[in-house]
Amino acid sequence: MIKKVLILMLLTISCAFSQDTEYKADITAREAYEMQKRGVILIDVRTKKEYDFMRPVNAILIESYFEIEGQRVFNENFVSQVEDLVKMDLSKEIILICRSSSRTKEVANLLAKNGFSNVYNVKNGFVYDWVKANLPTQKQ
């Protein structure tokens, strides 16, 4: 009986410590803009069409999904493209932004699971935070 209790306790403890890796934090667009001004990389993960229409000033496009024949297809090279951008410095601060933050939450966790330790997500995205805060934008 004691052996079963100890095994159950060990399983409970190991489950408590084996939570999924998550990205660093959700931040506001204004916080992202201030971080970007001091040199933090801002990656726009929307489609090229969305990015070309309007984007945060100096944002770098790395699409998390491609739009192919009206369907969104995941960019299988997303992690390696970010690794190339930061020259394999997985501790480099990175901010991710998309339209509303659904895509960024997904890829922020993906980056964290692949060893990135300083990934931030603009919690309400480009449309619902960056634009509403009247932060600088540019068009193609």
pLDDT band of residue 8 (cuts 50, 70, 90) is very low
Report whether pLDDT(87) > 60. yes
6 pLDDT above the threshold of 90: no
Q: How far apart are CA 37 and CA 122, in angstroms?
A: 15
CB 101 within 8 A of CB 133: no
How are beta strands 119-122 and 41-44 bridged, if at all? Answer: unpaired
Cβ within 8 Å of residue 110, ≥6 positions away? 78, 79
Position 79 pLDDT exceeds 70: yes
- pTM score: 0.84
**What pLDDT shows up at residue 59?**
98
- Per-residue model confidence (pLDDT) at position 140: 83
CATH numbers and ranges of domains, the chain: 20-138 (3.40.250.10)
In percent, the amount of the chain with pLDDT more than 90 equals 79
pLDDT tens profile 33-65: 999 999 999 999 999 999 999 999 999 999 999
pLDDT of residue 138: 96
Predicted confidence (pLDDT) per residue in 122-137, tens digit:
999 999 999 999 999 9
Least confident of 5-9, 53-57, 89-93: 5-9
